[in-house]
Structure 1
Amino acid sequence: MKDDNNALNKAFGFAVRVVKLHQFLSKEHKEYVLSKQVLRSGTSIGANINEAQAGQSKADFIAKMSIASKEARETKYWIALLCETNYLDQNDHHVKTLLEQSEELIKILTSIVKTAQQNAKIKI
């Protein structure tokens, strides 16, 4: 997916990796509960960013981007839990970059939400 929205592009790329992670955990480890959680939250990030672009108001935009930020945090939590329970190796390059990507998304989305909130206050 190529879009002018950098956050959406990053979230889409991250979601593709999360889907592949879910496939790996399901096939290799027969792990279905935690992998389903990370799949849901990891793919929800981009979906909420996409919905925010069509927000009906500034408040709607902020709400959807806030949800995307929360989903990014949740995804990072699930990946960390999968590491701590030995389903994933936190020293593996792929796992490290997934955690880095989730942190990057959290920072981007937090910044977008804060800026949008400040801009909304100025216009009121």
Structure 2
Amino acid sequence: MSEKPFDIKHRCYHFSKEMVLFISSLKYERIHFSIMDQHLRSATSIGANVVEGKAGSSKKDFRNFYTIALKSANETKYWLCLIRDTNIVNVGKDKIVELITEADELSKIIASIVINLNM
């Protein structure tokens, strides 16, 4: 990813876009379709829940959507690590490591927001 946007909503959107482009560029066996499908769902869920949270009607609503976004970010890291470690796809490890790093950074940012909401 190039320069990262400051706003978490935009950063999540760019990550979702990167994941869609990444997965759509891959060739993989039919048996691995469910892994890729679930991976795409969790990756795009991060930003969707951040947007929902920002539009929430209460602090509790906001916190709940951000907690779901955090869970999705952690799940996305899981799927990326699984893809990296099983060689399901023939792609350079550098790209996967870059995506894992961004998912980890998003996870830390969202976790910090959730923790600060509870103070």
After TM superposition, is the score higher than 0.5? yes
Q: Secondary structure at the match of 2:84?
A: helix
Deviates more, 1:86-95 or 1:97-106: 86-95
Please say if 1:11 is aligned against 2:29: no
Q: Secondary structure at the match of 2:57?
A: coil
Q: Secondary structure at the match of 1:87?
A: coil
* Offset, 1:116: 1.1
8 Å contact from structure 1 (residues 45, 68) kept in 2: yes
* TM-score, length-scaled by structure 2: 0.87
Which residue in 2 is equivalent to 1:56? 57
What does 1:1-124 align with in structure 2 at a 5 Å threshold? 6-25=7-26, 28-30=27-29, 31-88=32-89, 92-118=93-119
Structure 2 residues not aligned, in runs of 5+: none
8 Å contact from structure 2 (residues 28, 89) kept in 1: no
CA distance in 1, matches of 2:93, 2:59: 40
CA distance in 2, matches of 1:117, 1:50: 20
> 1:46/1:78 Cα in 2 relative to 1: closer, same or farther (>3 Å)?
same
Structure 1 residues not aligned, in runs of 5+: 119-124
Greater than 4 Å deviation, 4+ residue runs: 88-91
> 1:5/1:53 Cα in 2 relative to 1: closer, same or farther (>3 Å)?
farther
Q: How many residues align?
A: 113
8 Å contact from structure 2 (residues 84, 93) kept in 1: no
Cα root mean square deviation, aligned? 1.9
CA distance in 1, matches of 2:6, 2:57: 18
- Counting aligned pairs with the same residue, the percent is 35
Larger radius of gyration: 1
CA distance in 1, matches of 2:42, 2:22: 13
Q: Secondary structure at the match of 2:87?
A: coil
